[in-house]
A = this chain, B = another copy of it.
Amino acid sequence: MQLIKNLKWRYATKKYDNSKKVSEKHIDIIKEAIRLSPSSYGLQPYKIKNIKNAKLREDLKPLSWGQNQITDASHLFLFCNSIEVTDKDVDDFIKLKSSINKIPVEKLSSYGDFIKTKLSKKSEIEMFHWTAKQTYIALSNAINACAELEIDCTPIEGFEPEEYNFKLELNKEGLNACVLLAVGYRHNEDTAQQATKVRKGLNKIFEEI
């Protein structure tokens, strides 16, 4: 099964071969996997910054526990979750749904109101973490897309979100630096590639009730 094969193949790459670049054709496939990701109500409350500026990546490295992947991987994606989902965001979603599903907006308005009512019950902090969780679904699909393409990647939580937010002025866009994904090709000296995957046994994770 491809998914199991992908999950077994991948590992959190520690050292990249910075001479090897991922093709734009492959990047487009990874982006499409992210774009097609499910999210609550289908709202996709996130944006992804493809950080191409080499100088900027150098500047971000000290804000990322000095990790080499920040500068050495072929690509660096910053997944940003939306700080809030506004009524306008819901209206935009309803308009998009109307257009794609060829249903008049008026027929979808009660659904839009339902979503708005549900979202209005979330506190500011709940909303923040809720959009972050949706973002992790997109992250997960990006990781799987890389694996299927035999491209290495490293999901990175080891960075200072507040420093990223300030440096990239993310809050002005209503965004928060949620998680990073370095993407590229492993260095042949990366010893992490030889380690057997460490996972709990099934009985430690699953229970029938």
Contact = CB atoms under 8 A, between A and B. Distances in A.
Contacts of A155: 38
A202 B149 CA distance: 20
Interface in A115-135: 125, 129, 132-134
A207 B29 CA distance: 16
Contact of A132 (B8, B32, B129, B197): B129
A53 B196 CA distance: 36
Interface size class of A (residues with CB under 8 A): 35 or more
Interface in A143-193: 143-145, 148-149, 155, 157, 168, 179
B141 A198 contact: no
Contacts of A134: 136
A209 B50 contact: yes
A50 B143 contact: no
A4 B32 contact: yes
Interface of A: 1-4, 6-8, 10, 12, 29, 31-38, 40, 42, 44, 46-53, 56, 93, 96-97, 100-101, 125, 129, 132-134, 136-137, 139-141, 143-145, 148-149, 155, 157, 168, 179, 195-200, 202, 205-209
